[in-house]
């Protein structure tokens, strides 16, 4: 393998091999020309003669056979104990009479070293998926945030001052005990499965009519960016099970899909986006009013789509996966 101190890179290996094989140089002369040993020059010449230019590229240093590697039968036992009993390397090693370090190495190789990799219900390794093209599948969902009273919420001003601000907010709704209730805002979110490009709107409800209107605008928004939506994945909320949602999807030429009941992992991309939305926008900084927070959403979405690196797509911004877009990095 080539490294910082390697005498020959693949390019120079090919040059020395061609001097020996194609030009007929003696091995000793070619080795002296490149300041390497005779066996080194001979090795690259032999590989070039046998396989051509492909013979001088880097190869894996992994051995073809590892006689001391943990037997497959033991690997299955380790996996079974990890899946079914959720034991750690020390406990598994004690049961099987193996060093904990060996057990840990096996768990890392099988991607079972972190319990977060294992599905809580099935005990199997969590399966990741990603559609090949933008628009092949979009995820939709709704997340809720409590409205901020005038003067700021309790997260930044404390509970006592937060209660005063809530009581003094103009137009706030009160319950039967005359307690002020600031209410909630419903953020309807849409995210593309392939690119992770996100679209969001804030509304006062999560009814079918609102969800359908958001879908129509989101499809138009993606279309402007050259993305044709083919499928939409939602949970089993009442808005997404309505006839209006079904008929609207048919009009738009979109195939509606639903997650399995009580399995939010199926819609995990948008669930993770909701956490990013909360950390990066909803609770990121102090907002003196609810209007100030709502006004900050478009700028945050632009930052998320155009500039924020996304670890799931190679630490590139989501918009980078929508090719041939003018000013996509602005």
Residue 163 CB neighbour total at 10 angstroms: 15
Residue 76 and residue 52 share a domain: no
Q: Residues near 301 by Cβ (< 8 Å), separated by ≥ 6?
A: 198, 199, 200
Q: Residues near 250 by Cβ (< 8 Å), separated by ≥ 6?
A: none
Q: How does pLDDT run across 84-111, given as a tens digit for each residue?
A: 888 889 999 999 999 999 999 999 998 8
Residue 58 CB neighbour total at 10 angstroms: 12
Residue 55 in this model has a pLDDT that exceeds 80: yes
Q: How does pLDDT run across 187-241, given as a tens digit for each residue?
A: 999 999 999 999 999 999 999 999 999 999 999 999 999 999 999 999 999 999 9
Q: Residues near 126 by Cβ (< 8 Å), separated by ≥ 6?
A: 116, 117, 118, 119, 265
Residue 45 and residue 108 share a domain: no
Residue 19, in any domain of the structure? yes
Instruction: Give the model's confidence band at 174: pLDDT under 50 very low, under 70 low, under 90 confident, else very high.
Output: low
- Amino acid 38: pLDDT: 93
- Amino acid 3: pLDDT: 62
Residue 183 or residue 136, greater confidence: 136
Residue 197, in any domain of the structure? yes
Instruction: Give the model's confidence band at 83: pLDDT under 50 very low, under 70 low, under 90 confident, else very high.
Output: confident
Q: How far apart are CA 166 and CA 174, in angstroms?
A: 10
Three-state secondary structure call for residue 82: helix
Instruction: Give the model's confidence band at 304: pLDDT under 50 very low, under 70 low, under 90 confident, else very high.
Output: very high
Residue 211 domain boundaries: 138-147+183-321
Residue 84, in any domain of the structure? yes
- Amino acid 330: pLDDT: 42
CATH code of residue 250: 3.30.420.10
Q: How far apart are CA 214 and CA 223, in angstroms?
A: 14
Residue 279 and residue 246 share a domain: yes
User: Tokens 């490294």, residue?
Assistant: 3
Q: Residues near 160 by Cβ (< 8 Å), separated by ≥ 6?
A: none
Q: How does pLDDT run across 152-162, given as a tens digit for each residue?
A: 877 788 888 87
Q: Assess contact for 151 and 205: CB atoms under 8 A.
A: no
Mean pLDDT, rounded, of the chain: 87
């Amino acid at each position: 393998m080539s490294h910082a101190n390697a005498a020959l890179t693949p390019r120079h290996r090919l040059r020395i091999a061609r001097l020996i094989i194609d030009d007929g140089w003696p091995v000793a002369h070619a080795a002296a020309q490149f300041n390497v040993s005779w066996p080194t020059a001979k090795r690259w010449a032999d590989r070039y003669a046998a396989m051509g230019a492909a013979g001088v590229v880097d190869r894996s240093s992994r051995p073809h056979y590892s006689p001391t590697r943990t037997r497959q039968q033991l690997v299955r036992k380790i996996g079974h104990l990890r899946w079914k009993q959720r034991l750690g390397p020390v406990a598994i090693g004690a049961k099987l009479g193996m060093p904990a370090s060996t057990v840990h190495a096996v768990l890392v190789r099988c991607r079972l070293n972190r319990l977060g990799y294992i599905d809580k219900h099935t005990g199997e390794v969590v399966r990741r998926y990603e559609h090949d093209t933008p628009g092949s599948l979009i995820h939709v969902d709704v997340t809720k945030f409590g409205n901020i009273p005038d003067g700021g919420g309790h997260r930044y001003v404390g509970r006592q001052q937060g209660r005063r601000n809530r009581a003094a907010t103009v137009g706030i709704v009160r319950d039967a005990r005359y307690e002020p209730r600031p209410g909630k805002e419903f953020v309807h979110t849409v995210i593309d499965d392939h690119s992770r490009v996100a679209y969001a709107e804030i509304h006062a409800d999560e009814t079918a009519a609102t969800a359908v209107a958001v879908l129509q605008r989101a499809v138009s928004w993606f279309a402007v960016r050259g993305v044709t939506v083919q499928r939409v994945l939602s949970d089993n909320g009442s808005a997404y099970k309505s006839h209006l949602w079904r008929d609207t999807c048919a009009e738009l030429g979109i195939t509606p899909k639903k997650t399995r009941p009580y399995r939010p992992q199926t819609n995990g991309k948008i669930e993770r986006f909701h956490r990013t939305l909360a950390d990066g926008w909803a609770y990121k900084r102090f907002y003196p009013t609810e209007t100030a927070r709502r006004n900050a959403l478009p700028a945050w979405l632009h930052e998320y789509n155009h500039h924020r690196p996304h670890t799931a797509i190679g630490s590139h911004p989501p918009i980078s996966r929508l090719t041939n877009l003018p000013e996509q990095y602005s």
